[in-house]
Structure 1
């Protein structure tokens, strides 16, 4: 792999999921345009989301309908593309292993982006024991041991600010929440611990920038640790207060020791909320922070700010209230 092939024909898996739709939007909006953009989707999704699929086709997106677990369907899809981007969700993350194997054997695919967006699964030695990381770690192990002829990039973004900066309901509110209507907030730790955040839109922006950044020779897998901004819960609260009239909100705190206790109880009960507790605990402990970020390595694309994210969060909650959803 002395030369760096150009990703020009992009096939996206998980395009209708939580982060996939943001990635797809930025691929479509990219200037200059990619030669070909396609999505791989199941017959059920194609039928259920027929209107959305129709609009994508009108925007020039090719839609490949097939079974992601069918070797024949995937091999056929790969024939028209040279780059695979996975945005598959946590519950189906191991589906990437056969996708990688087939990509490695494909005569056309040269570049693969696994679904790595989010918390760094190899941040330090403790990462190997974190339960939410286990499936992604299996994918990385497979790549290390079996994939040698693909250009692999892990785009590590840290938590999505769209989810961190907003209202959390139920038991999850203890992990941090910003309630615009009630002007109440729960902050992690003492509120001053830094966390690196990436907006969902910027995941797509940074991924497109990475696609356009050539590899250094022998650099695969390439790890890019990128973000939109680094801030603290207290700074987020201050911005909410500023944008909602300047009045001080009611604030409570969840100490990290309490969060660890909640996490332990949830794990023992098999409660799915344990994943939320674990990830928020990692963030609160500084598990998203680096001396440098890699935005500069991909051309320092323009990214969103804390002010913009808070404004969007306020608008979302006001809109939901007006529509009767709250």
Structure 2
């Protein structure tokens, strides 16, 4: 099966999109065209960043994502679309998919799936943070012919860097404060699979470079490493010379209470609390990870992630 050669990215200057684009640019000779679609607002506020991308050979297409004619024009000559749109813009992928399927050149679409496995188990269908991604999947799988458009879901699990941080005001959800030497661990939480944001980019790149019957029309559950809160805590203590930490634990029952209260109060943190509870329940542990299907790229480990977090905090 032919590899992706002409790539168009949506959300390329966002938090995770930046890592995906950087990874693709690291293998620039593998591709004929690398284009990004960005809004007039982003073109204005991130002009220096976009100018640097242009110097690297990136085509910058400026337009309104809701303007079908502009999107159609952007698709001309493109064979693969990668979306890194944020959680609040996930529904906008449905018209993008419809237009991609109608395009004469686009044959592969990678929607914004980076994060928690939204079909891990029967209860996943009812989880509030999953609903928009589930709608996008349903549209791709039920409304679009595979002859018109293939898809791949790159499912990474939680981002390691974000998982480590305590959520202000909701510290009971777990995390680490290196500066204060404080950690909150979730009771009953076993192993959890994490992926660094840099590795998300590497894993997407390798998906693009390994287009096979096994990686197309499939959910690729990939990650950097699997660990546990206690192992993370031990690694922090090891790297910091055994300095004492204030360690407390939150029960899953208490986390569920905070989650329900946050949803009832309409707090934005409700989504994070739900995801933390899903992770604690084992919702990131796959029967088999798909890293091998995409060439088993080199990814980061726990030791390096903890070292990076210590270094980050030391610079604050």
TM-score of the superposition, structure 1-length normalised?
0.93
* CA distance in structure 2 between the partners assigned to 1:140 and 1:28 by the alignment: 28
Note the C-alpha offset of 1:114: 0.4
Aligned to 1:38: 35
Return the match for 2:265 from 252, 269, 277: 269
2:184 alignment partner in structure 1: 186
Number of aligned positions between the proteins? 314
Q: Match of 2:94, SS? A: helix
Contact in 2 for aligned 1:195/1:288 (Cα 8 Å): yes
CA shift at 1:220, angstroms? 4.5
Counterpart of 1:300? 296
The equivalent of 1:255 in structure 2 is 251
Q: Distance in 2 between matches of 1:30 and 1:187?
A: 39
CA distance in 1, matches of 2:58, 2:254: 47
The reply on whether 1:24 has 2:4 as its aligned counterpart is no
2:6 maps to what in 1?
A: 9
- Which consecutive aligned stretches of 4+ in structure 1 deviate over 3 angstroms post-superposition? none
Q: Secondary structure at the match of 2:30?
A: coil
CA distance in 2 between partners of 1:177 and 1:289 (Å): 19
**8 Å contact 2:167–2:173 — kept in the other structure?**
no
What SS is found at the alignment partner of 2:273? Answer: helix
Q: What's the offset of the Cα at 1:172?
A: 2.8
After superposition, where does 1:158-197 map in structure 2 within 5 Å? 158-165=157-164, 167-190=165-188, 193-197=190-194
Deviations 1:115-149 (A, max 9, x none): 00100111111000000000111111111221112
8 Å CA contact retained: 1:13, 1:40: yes
The Cα shift of 1:245 comes to: 2.0
Q: How many Å apart are 1:178 and its aligned residue?
A: 0.9
CA-to-partner distance for each residue in 1:277-299, whole Å, 9 max, x for gaps?
Answer: 10000000000002211101111
The equivalences for 1:83-102 within 5 A come to 83-102=80-99
2:71 matches 1:74: yes
Structure 2 partner of 1:279: 275
Partner Cα separation in structure 2 for residue 47 and residue 31 of structure 1: 26
The residue number in structure 2 matching 1:314 is 310
Deviates further, 236-245 or 11-20 = 236-245
3-state SS in 2 of match to 1:170: coil
Structure 2: 5+ residue stretches without partners: none
5+ long unaligned stretches in structure 1: 321-326
- Deviation of 1:31 (Å): 6.1
Q: What secondary structure, in the 3-state scheme, does the structure 1 residue paired with 2:220 have? A: strand
Contact between 2:4 and 2:211, CA under 8 Å: does it hold in 1?
A: no
Q: Does the Cα contact within 8 Å between 2:39 and 2:62 map onto a contact in 1?
A: yes
Q: Secondary structure at the match of 2:297?
A: coil
**CA–CA distance in structure 1, aligned partners of residues 230 and 244 of structure 2:** 12
